[in-house]
Chains A and B, each alone.
Chain A
Amino acid sequence: MEFKVRTMAECMAAGETPEILFWVGCAGSFDDRARKITKAVARILHHCGVSFAILGQEETCTGDPAKRAGNEFLFQMMAMQNIQVLEGYQVKKIVTACPHCFNTLKNEYPGLGGHYEVVHHTQLINSLIQDGKLSVAGGESFRGKRITFHDPCYLGRGNNVYEAPREVLVKLDAELVEMKRCRSNGLCCGAGGAQMFKEAEKGNKEVNIERTEDALEVKPHFIATGCPFCNTMMTDGVKHFEKEGEIQVKDIAELIAEAAEL
């Protein structure tokens, strides 16, 4: 990175309290593709002068996949350890680019004693644009391009966030085209509920192929995502149809970073 991303520990040592914690998540930290999304988010935050920090080595899995798979013990172990760490840094506000971390931190941690204001990165980006802190003119132009947005289950149906990602995308001056199944009716990418970490059960099709077909129908140049797991599934789907030459799968943060030339 061209700038220093500070950890909460470093901030504390310097006697500073960042306004917002960027919860990177496991995919965002370790998955090569998702790391690009993480960097795009960090660049946007840095560019807008948002005072933020990450946990770095002190971050661990929120426990989401363990919980969805039925391992409530492991989930609560992770949750309580994370809550201790967050308490240590007096974290009040969290942004994350992963809807699974978002949902868990926002909805499931309060019951275990962790209360934070949690926002998804598309919500934060949307408010940065609305506040005039972020302008998307300057960089790559998306004029004439068709973009379709794939709703992540844990952002959309799970938490009723449908508009923020779309409000951001329309700023790109591109044509936002909706798949036949969108918003509350959107089809899952196939990764949720810990499916990401196992083979699918026997069937006649993979879920991500079914979903990619929805996307291909609207002939997009870009499939916009808001979840690192959806991103993987849709990228695989596009490759399956050998369309990677025509269609790019990008996170909203990446599209915005490109448009703002970050």
Chain B
Amino acid sequence: MIAQASFLILLTIAGFLAWKRFRFVRRNILIGRDTPITGNAKDRWKTMLLVALGQGKMFSRPLAAVMHLFIYVGFVIINIEVIEILIDGIFGTHRILSFMGGLYDVLIGSFEILALLVIVACVVFLARRNVLHLLRFRQRELEGWPRTDANVILIIEILLMSAFLTMNAADGLLQMSGHVHYHDAGSFPVSRFVMPGLDGLSEGALVAVERFCWWFHIAGILAFIVYLTYSKHLHIILAFPNTWYSKLEPAGTFTNLDSVTREVKLMLDPQANPPSAAPASDTPQRFGARDVFDLSWVQLMNAYSCTECGRCTSECPANQTGKLLSPRKIMMDTRDRLEEVGACMDQHGGVWQDDGKSLLRDYITEEELWACTTCNACTQACPVNINPMEIIVDLRRYLIMEESKSPESITSMFNNIENNGAPWAMSPAERGSWAVG
């Protein structure tokens, strides 16, 4: 009875904390501007199934993809076990699903194999991050918390899986000893190799081990759910909506700003009403983006979906040639600024009060922005269809259209286009001369 009550209290606390954080993240994402969602739903479902569910883009790097697949499948499948744990925890039963008989044995057996694969993958990933010195796990934006975050996630996963296997080993031994509470259920293809480690323990000690691991496993999972809302690990949830809402147009297509279209039409058409005649509701938003408020909510969701794998940065031509730009840092900066803005809003009863900072300059420098070649290598590389390039261009738009600030040579390129219709100082009359000469 006490166990059941404790379990319910634990569940409630975890549920409350997770709900609070999810609400915070959701509110932060919705700070972003509204954006038209084009294309048909069928294509969007297809993208989500291929990219998020099917992990289609992971496989450009096969080793990481296979290891990730172990963890992904392990996570999804082993969660069936969590259903049983929840029922057992609430009703004080033990292995309630074992009535399924042979099927249950197959399930538990496959969970065990997956648990082992998850442990293997996590160990490989820890080695890649901490021993092998892969460049993309060594870059400056990962210093501090992001590196710790990655290691914490991997270690938690190893601990959870180890607890699961140890629990089964103890359970199996108790079943063999004929303990009244531990009826025959499940198969133990992996944990049987853990059993010798528990050999010689008294029945009471085995029950203690089994119970400890059971509690550790479920408490760990609940804590992890709360933790992931503070962590890059949020991608396990947001990868799905993020791919669903990702761009369907060819990657080369940049959006045309409607607010600009209206003004350009007024400029070009002498017949049009003067700007003063425009209704007040048409007051244009800021052109481009200076802070997270100026980005779309999809771009902000992108930022929360990023798991900092760094494939974008490792494919970025600017980054590869030693420039400051790192597309991953663009996404991490956007998220960090958004978290800061969200926290600030919470301090002021949900209302934004200017803190004197902005995404542009306090987080992302002009030097980073101007290094981008808009080549789409980052968007191609992202396993969950995040688009760092769009944020870069939106920040450039602010620099140009609100501050008229650009490298000198870019300014003369603009002037040339405006004055002679070409980015160079060439006479329009010369345009057709290749055909004559």
* Interface residue stretch chosen among B226-234, B346-354, B398-406: B398-406
Is A236's beta carbon under 8 Å from chain B? no
* Interface residue stretch chosen among A61-69, A86-94, A130-138, A170-178: A61-69
Q: Are B322 and A204 in contact (CB under 8 A)?
A: yes
Interface membership of chain A positions 146-181, coded 1 if the CB is closer than 8 angstroms to chain B and 0 otherwise: 000000011001111000000000000000000000
Could you say which of A26, A42, A103, A185 contacts B253, with CB atoms under 8 Å apart? A103
By a CB distance below 8 angstroms, the chain A residues around B256 are 72, 76, 108, 111-112
Given contacts A210-B320, A210-B321, contact A71 B414 (CB under 8 A): yes
Could you say which of B264, B407, B423 contacts A61, with CB atoms under 8 Å apart? B423
**Number of chain A interface residues as a range:** 35 or more
Which residues in window 309-360 of B have CB below 8 A to A?
315, 317-318, 320-325
Which residues in window 49-98 of A have CB below 8 A to B?
54, 56-57, 59-61, 63, 65-74, 76-78, 80-81
By a CB distance below 8 angstroms, the chain B residues around A77 are 264, 267-268, 418
Given contacts A74-B417, A203-B323, contact A30 B374 (CB under 8 A): no
Q: How far is the CA of A42 from the CA of B409 in the complex (A)?
A: 32
By a CB distance below 8 angstroms, the chain A residues around B395 are 70
By a CB distance below 8 angstroms, the chain A residues around B380 are 157, 184-185
Could you say which of A1, A7, A103, A190 contacts B373, with CB atoms under 8 Å apart? A190
Interface membership of chain B positions 415-432, coded 1 if the CB is closer than 8 angstroms to chain A and 0 otherwise: 001100111101011111
A196 to chain B: closest residue by CB = B423
Could you say which of A160, A196, A207 contacts B321, with CB atoms under 8 Å apart? A207
Q: Are B324 and A70 in contact (CB under 8 A)?
A: no
Given contacts A77-B264, A107-B250, A204-B321, contact A68 B374 (CB under 8 A): yes
Tell me what chain B mostly uses at the interface: helix, strand, loop, or mixed.
helix
Q: Are A69 and B413 in contact (CB under 8 A)?
A: yes
Given contacts A201-B318, A201-B325, contact A29 B430 (CB under 8 A): yes
Q: Are B431 and A57 in contact (CB under 8 A)?
A: yes
Q: Are B264 and A76 in contact (CB under 8 A)?
A: yes
Q: Are A69 and B406 in contact (CB under 8 A)?
A: yes
By a CB distance below 8 angstroms, the chain B residues around A187 are 317, 320, 377
By a CB distance below 8 angstroms, the chain B residues around A4 are 435
Q: How far is the CA of A56 from the CA of B429 in the complex (A)?
A: 8
Q: Are B261 and A201 in contact (CB under 8 A)?
A: no
Could you say which of B264, B374, B406, B424 contacts A80, with CB atoms under 8 Å apart? B264
Q: How far is the CA of A24 from the CA of B431 in the complex (A)?
A: 9
Given contacts A26-B424, A185-B60, contact A159 B264 (CB under 8 A): no
Is A202's beta carbon under 8 Å from chain B? yes
Q: How far is the CA of A211 from the CA of B373 in the complex (A)?
A: 14
Interface membership of chain A positions 176-209, coded 1 if the CB is closer than 8 angstroms to chain B and 0 otherwise: 0000000011011011111111111111111101
Other A-B contacts than A29-B432, A60-B421, 17 sampled, CB-CB below 8 A, are A1-B434, A24-B431, A29-B426, A42-B435, A56-B432, A56-B435, A65-B417, A67-B254, A69-B396, A70-B396, A72-B287, A158-B253, A188-B375, A200-B371, A202-B322, A207-B318, A210-B317
A-B contact pairs, 5 of them (CB 8 A): A24-B431, A29-B422, A72-B256, A76-B260, A103-B253
